[in-house]
Chains A and B, each alone.
Chain A
Amino acid sequence: MNTPLIEAKSLTVRYHYKPVLWNIDCSLSAGRMIGIIGPNGSGKTTFLKTLMGLLKPDSGSVRLFGKEPKQVLERLSYVPQRESVDWDFPARVQDVVLMGRYRRSNLLGRLSKEDRRLADEAMDEVGLTEFAKRQIGELSGGQQQRVFLARAIARQPELFLMDEPFAGVDAATEDAILRLLARLRDKGRSVVIVHHDLQTAQRFFDELVLLRTRLIASGPTEQVLTPDHLDEAYGGRLSVLSRMGDLLQKSQLDWKERGINDSDHER
C-alpha cells in the first residue's frame, strides 16, 4: 500500500492558547496539485508551517512521506509569501536561486558546480535566465514570485509547499506559474498551495483541503467545493451559496479570455 504524502491525525495547533487548527484528520496522496483553502484566519498558513515542522502540534500528529516532518525536510521546498522578505536585500536573482541549494551538509562549505548548474536550470525553467544578474529589488512582483519558484525548483524536491503564490501577481504570470507546476506534477512531484481565491481554486487543483480551524472537507476538488461545505466554511459572510453558480460560469469565461491573452504577455 502506498504511504500517503501527508497524513494528519487529530492535529491540534494552538497560538497563545487559542486553537488555530482543531482536530484535523486528513490523508493526501502524492503526485497531485493540492489546494489548502478557507477564509482568513482559518489556519491555512499554520497548517503549512506544521507540515514543515516549524510549528509543533499541541496534540495529534502530522506525517510527511510517513515520517516526522523534521526528518524529510530535504525532500521538500517551501515557497514563502512574497511580502515576507525585504526585496531591498543586496542580492541578485542568481544569489537567491542558489539559496535553494543550501543544505545542512554544505552550509559551512562551498557550493559545487552541480549546485550552480541546477540553479541555472531552475532559472531557465521559470524564464529568468536573462535576469540572473539583476538586483532582486528591480523586479516586478510576478518576476519576484518566479525567483522564489526557481529557488524551490533548484532544491529538486518531491514536494512543493507554497504560501499564496498568486497574491499580487498578474494573470499572465499566474497562468505561467500554474502551467509550470502542472508540468512538475506530471513528472510525479506533489504541490501543496495555500490559496484563498475560491473562484480559481476549482480549476487549479486536483484535491482540496477546506479549513476553518476545523477540517470542513478534504478530497477531490468537486467533492469539496459543494454549497454545503462552502456554507460551513464561510458562513453567511460571503453570499457564496447564492453566487456559486455564477462563479463557476464566470471562471470558465476568465479561463478562455486568459488563454487568448497569454501569448501577448509572455516575453
Chain B
Amino acid sequence: MSTDGWWVIGMGALVALLCAALGSFLYLRRLSMLGDAISHAVLPGIVLAYFVSGARESLGLLVGAAVFGLLVTYLIDWLTHKAGMQQDASIGLSFTLLFSLGIVMVSLWASRVDIDADCVLYGDIALLPFDTWSWGGRPMGPRHFAMLLGLDVLIGLLLWRGYKGMQLLAFDRVFAASTGMAVGLWHWLLMGGVSLATVFSFEAVGAILVVAFLVIPPAIGHLWSFGSLPRMLAVAMLSGVASSVLGYGLAVWLDSSIAACMSTAALLLYGMSWIFHPQRGGLALLLKKKRVPHAPMMGRMR
C-alpha cells in the first residue's frame, strides 16, 4: 500500500479516536443528536473561515468556526427552555437553520471558497495527504494529520484530567451540582470539544459522516462496557480505529468513497458486536428463546 494510504488510514483513525471518546459522553448523556446538530451547524463557520483566509484552512479560523457549534448548542437550549419548544424540534430547527445558511454561503461564494456540496457531505480525505507541511526544511507529512494529532492530544488531556467531572456530569447532573461542581462549565467544555472535533474532522469525513463516528463506536463501547466506563471508552476508540482501517480496505476494494466506507465498516462492526454479545446479542437471544420458553422473571426481584 502507498504511503498516502497509510496517511489516510491514520487520519481516519485520529478522527475516529476523537469522535469515539467525545461521542461516548454524548451517548451517555443521551445527547448524541446534539453531536449531529453541532456537526452540521459548524458549516457556516467553516465557510466563513475559508472565505476570510482564501483557499487554505488556517488553524485560528478553524477554532473560530467551532464557535458555531457552541452557538447551536446555546440556540437549542434557548428554544427548549425559554421559547418552550420541544427539545427534538428545537434541535431540528437550529441545525438545519445553520446548515442551510452554510450551504447558501457555499453557493454564493463558490468562486472564492474552495469547498462544494460534495465535500460538505463526504469530506475529501483522499486529497489530504497531498497538502503537506515542513518544519525547518524537513517534510512533516500532511498538514491535516498534524492538526488532528494536536487536537487528539488536547482532547485526550481534557478527558484524562477531567474524567471524574465528565463521568459525574454524565451520570447524575443534579448530584454533581449539589457537590459544588461547575456543571455549566463542564457541559460547555464537552460541547466545545465536540465542536472542535467536528470542525477538524470536517475535511476528512464531512458533516454527515462525523455523526457516524460520534455515535456508532460509543454504541459498540456501551454494549461491551459491562459496568466499566473506562472499558466503554477503550472499546469505542478501538472499534473506531478498526472501522477506519477496515473502511479504507473496503473503499479500495469497492473503489468507493473512503469516508462512506469507513462509516459502513463501523456499522458492520456494530452489527457483529451485537450479534455476538453474550447477553443482549441476537445469537444469545435466539438461543435463549429455544432453550427456555417463557422464562420466568427471576433473580432481579428480591
Give the docked Cα–Cα distance between A92 and B229 (Å).
Answer: 9
Please determine whether B232 and A102 come into contact, CB atoms closer than 8 angstroms: no
Chain B: minimal CB distance from A167 (Å): 16
Residues of B contacting A90 with CB < 8 Å? 28, 222, 225-229, 231-232
Cα–Cα distance between A155 and B176 once the two chains are bound (Å): 13
Contacts of A89 in B (CB 8 A): 28, 170-171, 229
Asked whether, in the complex, the Cβ of B161 is within 8 Å of the Cβ of A104, the reply is no
Task: Check if B118 is an interface residue, CB within 8 A of chain A.
Answer: no
- Given known pairs A108-B165, A143-B302, the reply for A95 and B178 (CB within 8 Å) is no
Is B172 in contact with A142, judged by CB distance below 8 angstroms? Answer: no
Contact A80 B226 (CB under 8 A): no
Of all A-B residue pairs in the complex, the 4 with the closest CB atoms, nearest first, are: A135-B227, A90-B225, A78-B178, A73-B180
A54 on the B face (CB < 8 A): yes
A99 within 8 A of B: yes
What size tier do the contact residues of chain B reach?
20 to 34
A70 within 8 Å of B by Cβ? Answer: yes
Q: Is the CB of B229 within 8 A of A135?
A: no
Residue of A nearest to B232 (CB): A90
The residue on B at minimum CB distance from A54 is B177
A-B pairs with beta carbons under 8 Å apart, 26 shown: A52-B177, A54-B174, A54-B178, A73-B179, A74-B180, A78-B178, A85-B171, A85-B172, A86-B30, A89-B171, A89-B229, A90-B222, A91-B227, A91-B229, A95-B229, A99-B168, A99-B175, A102-B179, A104-B181, A106-B164, A107-B165, A107-B181, A108-B162, A134-B227, A135-B226, A140-B301
Given pairs A52-B177, A52-B178, A136-B227, 12 additional interface contacts (CB within 8 A): A54-B174, A76-B178, A89-B28, A90-B229, A91-B227, A103-B179, A104-B181, A106-B164, A108-B161, A108-B162, A140-B301, A155-B179
- Cβ of A181 under 8 Å from chain B: no
Q: For residue B138, which residues in chain A have a CB less than 8 angstroms away from its CB?
A: none
Specify which chain B residues have a CB less than 8 angstroms from the CB of A2 in the assembled complex: none
Question: Is B180 a contact of A70 with CB atoms below 8 Å?
Answer: yes
Instruction: With a 10 A CB-CB cut-off, give which of B168, B171, B174, B178 has the most chain A CB atoms.
Output: B178
The 8 A CB mask of A77-105 against B (1 = contact, 0 = none) is 11010001110011110011001001110
Question: Which residues of B are at the interface with A, using a C-beta cutoff of 8 A?
Answer: 28, 30, 161-162, 164-165, 167-168, 170-172, 174-175, 177-181, 222, 225-229, 231-232, 300-302
Q: Which residues of B contact A95 (CB under 8 A)?
A: 227, 229
Among residues 143 to 165 in chain A, which have CB atoms less than 8 Å away from a CB atom of chain B?
A: 143, 151, 155, 161
Question: Who on chain A is nearest to B301 by CB?
Answer: A140
Cβ-closest chain A residue relative to B183: A54
- Contact: B302 with A142, CB < 8 Å? yes
Judged by a CB distance under 8 angstroms, whether A197 is at the interface is: no
Q: A104-B180, A107-B164, A140-B301 are in contact. Are A80 and B229 (CB under 8 A)?
A: no
Taking CB atoms, residues of chain B closer than 8 Å to A186 are none
Is A99 within 8 A of B177, CB to CB?
Answer: no
Give the complex CA separation of A143 and B299 in angstroms.
13
Q: Does A232 contact B (CB under 8 A)?
A: no
Q: How far is the CB of A245 from chain B (nearest CB, A)?
A: 35
Docked pose: A142 CA to B178 CA in angstroms: 23
Q: Are B222 and A138 in contact (CB under 8 A)?
A: no
